[in-house]
């Protein structure tokens, strides 16, 4: 076959080349995917699996491996009020960030999902905060939320209000941290939602409009149900991200690990404190696995809840909703 296409007569040395070619054809694919799998096994899979191993031992940061203790580290973490404190803080910060973020992002996406002038400018403009790293975000917002020096303090003073102890009190600290998360991620999520909205066939809106549905009603009855798969996606990513929040609370009061009384210590910060300042690798590893399970669980719950919300909603044309989902999956 080869020779005929090449239009050259077969020669004896071609058999060797053929062999090489066949070898090349058969094994190259393995060779091409191998680097990824080898590296990923070493730096991705091994550490996570080995975390399980570490979590079953007394394991000290400085002194190394100790006795096998079975599930004791898990028991210790789960019965540690600090863990539950961190858990509560994480959930609180997550809710304070995820909910406003989703609402605002959906609103912005809806605004952008019109024939606006300067499309590219607006899209880029809302993405600007995304390029600011969490460390810089925290550094900047620390100044803004400074109890005494920042613009917010100035504003409060102007109205004769007491300064707010942003880094000392529970709720203010959670709000400040959630604000940092929101600032960085709202525009980004708006773009994802915008992409989904643009995939909604225009004629669905048109016929609804003909039926007399006003803008708001169309938004609720068509847009929201039709972008449901994307909403689920955004909720799940926000959840996974929110449960792993570290940089903002760590640097919000860098002298501590989440506040003098742990008032804004998150789970990953708790893990960090266990692993390094408190030097307990065993319990820190157990925490990592617990966190992993929580992430999976919360992911499933977000999924279920978002589904439920939609099912309780007005019935949209089922087929087109499905096609949006398919498009999302493809792109």
Q: Shortest gap between Cβ of 154 and other proteins (angstroms)? A: 4
What character string, x for contact with other proteins (CB under 8 A) and - otherwise, covers 297-326?
Answer: ------------------------------
- Which parts of 3-62 interact with other proteins (CB under 8 A)? 5-6, 21, 24-26, 28-30, 32-33, 35-37, 39-40, 42-48, 50-51, 53-54, 61-62
Least gap, CB of 191 to other proteins (angstroms): 5
In the numeric block, which tokens belong to residue 141? 């917002």
Nearer to other proteins, 91 or 204 (CB): 204
Q: Residue 207 interacts with other proteins (CB under 8 A)?
A: no
Q: How far is CA 72 from CA 55, 56, 276, 318, in A?
A: 9, 7, 20, 50
Residues 142-171 that bind other proteins (CB under 8 A): 142-144, 146-151, 153-155, 157-158, 167-168
Residues 6+ apart with CB under 8 A from 303: 232, 235, 236
Among 10, 75, 260, 304, binds other proteins (CB under 8 A): 260
Helix axis angle for 119-127 and 81-112, nearest 10°, is 170
User: What letters, b where the CB count within 10 A reaches 16 and e where it falls short, cover 89-105?
Assistant: bbbbbbebbbeebbeeb
> Nearest 10 degrees: CA dihedral of 130, 132, 135, 138?
-80
Task: To the nearest 10°, report the CA torsion of 72, 76, 79, 81.
Answer: -170
Q: How far apart are CA 264 and CA 28, in angstroms?
A: 52
Taking alpha carbons only, the member of 222, 235, 233 closest to residue 321 is 222
Q: How far is the CB of 139 from other proteins (least distance, A)?
A: 5
| Separation of alpha carbons 320 and 325, rounded Å | 9
Which residue, 184 or 310, is less far from other proteins as judged by CB? Answer: 184
> For other proteins, which residue of 13, 216, 312, 319 counts as binding (CB under 8 A)?
216
Shortest Cβ 179–other proteins spacing (Å): 10
Q: Of 135 and 308, which has the nearer Cβ to other proteins? A: 135
CB 175 within 8 A of CB 300: no
Q: Of the candidates 19, 279, 307, 315, which one interacts with other proteins according to CB under 8 A?
A: 279
Site for other proteins in 64-123 (CB under 8 A): 80-82, 104, 107-108, 111-112, 114-116, 120, 122-123
Question: Binder to other proteins among 292, 309, 320, 323 (CB under 8 A)?
Answer: 292
Q: Which of 77, 192, 224, 324 binds other proteins (CB under 8 A)?
A: 192
Residues 167-186 that bind other proteins (CB under 8 A): 167-168, 183
Q: How far is the CB of 312 from other proteins (least distance, A)?
A: 23
Query: Which of 39/297 has CB closer to other proteins?
Result: 39
- Enumerate the H helices of the chain as residue ranges: 2-6, 12-40, 46-55, 72-78, 81-112, 119-127, 134-144, 151-158, 170-198, 202-210, 215-218, 224-226, 228-243, 247-252, 267-275, 281-311, 318-330
Binding window for other proteins (CB under 8 A); candidates: 90-98, 285-293, 304-312, 316-324 = 285-293
């Amino acid at each position: 076959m080869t020779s005929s296409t090449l239009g050259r007569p077969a020669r004896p040395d071609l058999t060797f080349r053929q062999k090489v070619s066949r070898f090349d054809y058969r094994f190259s694919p393995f060779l091409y995917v191998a680097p990824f799998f080898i590296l990923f096994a070493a730096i991705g899979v091994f550490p996570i699996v080995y975390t399980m191993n570490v979590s079953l031992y007394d394991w000290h940061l400085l002194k190394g491996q100790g006795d096998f203790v079975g599930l004791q580290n898990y028991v210790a973490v789960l019965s540690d009020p600090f863990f539950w404190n961190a858990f509560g803080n994480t959930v609180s910060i997550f809710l304070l960030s995820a909910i406003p973020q989703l609402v605002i992002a959906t609103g912005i996406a809806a605004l952008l999902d019109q024939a606006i002038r300067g499309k590219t400018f607006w899209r880029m403009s809302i993405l600007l905060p995304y390029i600011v790293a969490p460390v810089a975000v925290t550094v900047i917002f620390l100044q803004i939320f400074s109890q005494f020096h920042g613009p917010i303090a100035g504003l409060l003073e102007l109205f004769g209000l007491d300064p707010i102890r942003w880094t000392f009190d529970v709720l203010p600290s959670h709000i400040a941290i959630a604000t940092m998360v929101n600032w960085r991620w709202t525009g980004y999520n708006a773009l994802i939602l915008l992409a989904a909205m643009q995939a909604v066939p225009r004629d669905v809106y048109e016929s609804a409009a003909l039926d007399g549905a006003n803008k708001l009603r169309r938004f609720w009855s068509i847009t929201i149900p039709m972008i449901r798969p994307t909403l689920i996606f955004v909720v799940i990513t926000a959840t996974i991200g929110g449960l792993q929040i570290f940089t903002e609370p760590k640097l919000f009061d860098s002298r501590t690990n989440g506040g003098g009384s742990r008032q804004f210590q998150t789970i990953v910060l708790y893990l960090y404190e266990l692993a390094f300042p408190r030097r307990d690798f065993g319990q820190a590893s157990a925490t990592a696995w617990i966190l992993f399970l929580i992430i999976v669980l919360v992911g499933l719950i977000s999924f279920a809840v978002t589904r439920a919300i939609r099912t309780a909603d007005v019935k949209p044309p089922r087929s087109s909703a499905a096609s949006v989902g398919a498009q999302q999956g493809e792109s």
